[in-house]
Amino acid sequence: MPGLRAPSDYSGEPPRHPALKINAKQPFNAEPPRAALVKSYVTPIDMFYKRNHGPVPIVDNINSYRVSIGGLVKEPKQLSMDEIRSLPKYEVMATLQCAGNRRTAMSKQKTVRGVGWDVSAIGNGLWGGAKLADVLELIGIPKLTATTPLGAKHVEFVSVDRCKEENGGPYKASIPLRQATNPEADVLLAYEMNGEVLNRDHGYPLRVVVPGVIGARSVKWLDSINIVEEECQGFFMQKDYKMFPPSINWDNIVWSERRPQMDFPVQSAICSLEDVDFVKQGRITVNGYAVSGGGRGIERVDVSTDGGKTWVEAERYQRSGSQYVPEVNGDKWAWVLFKVEIDVSDRAEIVVKAVDSAAGVQPATVEEIWNLRGILNTSWHRVRVTNSLRAPVSQL
């Protein structure tokens, strides 16, 4: 694609905030410290996790950049940024979460393959751009209505970045046509993040944002969009980001037996404390995030100080000043931040679990959801605190 190209090495990477914790250098994968996540409802761009599979593409000339739309369409088209910007602009508050969030903790149960992440492979952004449903309408694909026939067609997004998993080919993924053409699914071709032009790490000049779905489907550095008969056959749809049961290992795995993961399940984590933290005995405030996929709001956030025997309910909030009521005034694709004051004695195991609007609840242990790729660790998040420097960590 003219205007946008994939470098073959990492010499042209963009600058990044020094406070990010680097989980892999090349390709660049980094997350902010936990505490940075709960400082604001909207995650600042420089504190937003970066998840790349190759060198970050370079835009040589934005005026010659075009995104091509083709596949099963009568008239393929190439759209410039001006044409995309001329469509109605939407701003969607949506949490992006990598399926590998909290993988490091899963690997402590039993080894998994993949980049390790603490609890911060997640961020809440205000994404600005055109709705994919409006873009598809331009090439003669009507919006979803009650009478749209059921169909298995997918919309495939192809990038320009070169990934070793694709044997040097581009990153790609797809979503069902029904989701792409549904204006209420809020799928965006985004050119802005938090009111600013998208930066290079996050997909400049144009990326897909699929709210409520694992981050892997929100393709960055968009090169082309194809209407295809069935889901994308690329590596990241077919041989990755699938949820297998704990009994499956690298010797008996049959990738085609499971479907690509799309919506993410209910998730929460404590961000104001590290895994083993020293705190003064008495009252402390515990903060964190809770989120669910598919537009399901967060119904409840429960916090325990005794490892999960008893619970208190935390306060939930979204944009400042408003009392959060899911499905009434909530940002349906966005996380809630939570806050609760608790009393801790000399040592405690603090646990959080969230419940979504479908009464989906996080599993108690990582054991029951362990999977060889280490995705979707949504087990209760536990941190241990003590006020005694003398207590050996193993006894906490």
Interface positions with ligand MTE (CB under 6 A):
48-53, 96, 98, 159, 161, 171, 201-202, 215-216, 218-221
Which residue is it, tokens 């001329």?
86
Is the Cβ of residue 105 or residue 121 nearer to ligand MTE in the bound state? 121
Is the Cβ of residue 23 or residue 386 nearer to ligand MTE in the bound state? 23
The whole-angstrom separation of Cα 189 and Cα 207 is 6
Least separation in angstroms between CB 154 and ligand MTE: 16
List, in order, residues 6 or more apart from 322 with CB less than 8 Å away.
329
The whole-angstrom separation of Cα 363 and Cα 198 is 36
**Which tokens sit at 51?**
């998840």
Per DSSP, what are the bridge partners of residue 303? 312, 352
Is the Cβ of residue 32 or residue 295 nearer to ligand MTE in the bound state? 32
Is the Cβ of residue 207 or residue 384 nearer to ligand MTE in the bound state? 207
Which residue is it, tokens 């290079």?
200
Least separation in angstroms between CB 333 and ligand MTE: 15
Is the Cβ of residue 163 or residue 227 nearer to ligand MTE in the bound state? 163
The whole-angstrom separation of Cα 42 and Cα 181 is 27
Least separation in angstroms between CB 48 and ligand MTE: 6
Is the Cβ of residue 220 or residue 300 nearer to ligand MTE in the bound state? 220
Least separation in angstroms between CB 28 and ligand MTE: 9
Least separation in angstroms between CB 101 and ligand MTE: 8
* Residue whose Cβ sits closest to ligand MTE: 215
List, in order, residues 6 or more apart from 25 with CB less than 8 Å away.
none
Distances (CA, A) of 394 to 81, 105, 173, 347: 56, 16, 43, 12
Least separation in angstroms between CB 345 and ligand MTE: 39
Phi and psi of 103, rounded to 5°?
-65, -35
Q: Strands 170-176, 188-193: parallel, antiparallel or unpaired by DSSP?
A: unpaired
Least separation in angstroms between CB 275 and ligand MTE: 23
Distances (CA, A) of 52 to 92, 113, 207: 23, 16, 13
Is the Cβ of residue 84 or residue 348 nearer to ligand MTE in the bound state? 84
